[in-house]
């Protein structure tokens, strides 16, 4: 996180009023595990680019990571039909404080019917991990494990940062299923997959919360 801030600080210092610079800086900060700074910059960019996909997705995801479900919901309205916005909003509703679990489950079910999901290994894995969280909320431990196996099937094809994020979601699903030891181990794997990523930062937080 510190390295990311060091990288973007000079650019923001010189060109911080340029919307494109704010957008790129926000993407770097989010990916590096600083959703708070990212959310601020995404909000500024969204005023000029309200229907930009990357800005909308980044804003919803940043608020999901910050456990601010209401802000994530508000931000998703900018581009509510976009597949990546819907995935990020489903994550927020299922996991963030103040999230609407029933709405999250409904979003996940609706996304399953969207052909765009299958066009991306990252989207497919995230959707399957979210399905595991839905199964956990329903008390279906076998369903949790089955969905996580499906999500992990092609994990080797994903970038390390995506693997870390997938591990974070997997850990959440296991924790929600009251499989605490498995959750703890999965969070550690996520942290090791890409230590400076948002997935690792979130896994580190959740691992610490488990004690």
Whether residue 74 lies inside any domain: the answer is: no
CA distances in angstroms from 43 to 22, 40, 46, 161, 166, listed in the order given: 9, 5, 5, 24, 26
Residue 6 reports pLDDT greater than 70? no
Q: What is the pLDDT of residue 21?
A: 85
**Does residue 34 carry a pLDDT above 80?**
yes
Which domain does 136 fall in, by range? 128-211
Residue reference for tokens 């919803």: 60
pLDDT, average across residues 163-191: 98
Q: Is residue 73 part of a domain?
A: no
Query: What is the sign of the dihedral through the CA atoms of 9, 11, 17 and 21?
Result: negative
Q: What predicted TM-score, i.e. pTM, was given to this entire model?
A: 0.91
**Residue 45 predicted with pLDDT over 70:** yes
Does residue 83 lie within any of the structural domains? no
Let me know if residue 194 belongs to a domain.
yes
Rounded distance between C-alpha atoms, residue 117 and residue 124, angstroms: 5
Q: Is residue 188 part of a domain?
A: yes
* Predicted confidence band of residue 172 (pLDDT cuts 50, 70, 90): very high
Residue 120's pLDDT is 93
Say yes or no to pLDDT of 72 above 70.
yes
pLDDT in tens, 80-99: 999 999 999 999 999 999 99
Count of domains for the chain: 1
């Amino acid at each position: 996180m510190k390295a990311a801030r060091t990288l973007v600080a000079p650019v923001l210092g010189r060109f911080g009023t340029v919307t494109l610079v704010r957008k790129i800086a926000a993407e770097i900060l989010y990916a590096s595990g600083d959703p708070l700074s990212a959310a601020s910059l995404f909000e500024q960019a969204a005023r000029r680019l309200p229907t930009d996909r990357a800005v909308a997705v980044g804003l919803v995801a940043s608020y999901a990571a910050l456990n601010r479900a209401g802000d994530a919901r508000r931000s998703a309205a900018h581009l509510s039909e976009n597949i990546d916005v819907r995935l990020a909003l489903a994550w927020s509703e299922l996991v963030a404080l103040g999230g609407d679990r029933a709405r999250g489950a409904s979003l996940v079910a609706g996304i399953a019917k969207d052909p765009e999901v299958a066009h991306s290994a990252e989207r497919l894995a995230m959707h399957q991990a979210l399905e595991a969280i839905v199964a956990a909320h329903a008390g279906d431990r076998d369903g949790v494990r089955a969905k996580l196996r499906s999500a992990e099937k092609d994990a080797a094809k994903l970038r390390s940062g995506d693997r870390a994020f997938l591990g974070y979601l997997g850990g959440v699903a296991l924790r929600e299923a009251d499989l605490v030891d498995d959750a703890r181990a999965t969070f550690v794997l996520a942290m090791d997959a890409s230590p400076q990523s948002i997935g690792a930062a979130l896994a580190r937080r959740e691992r610490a919360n488990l004690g």
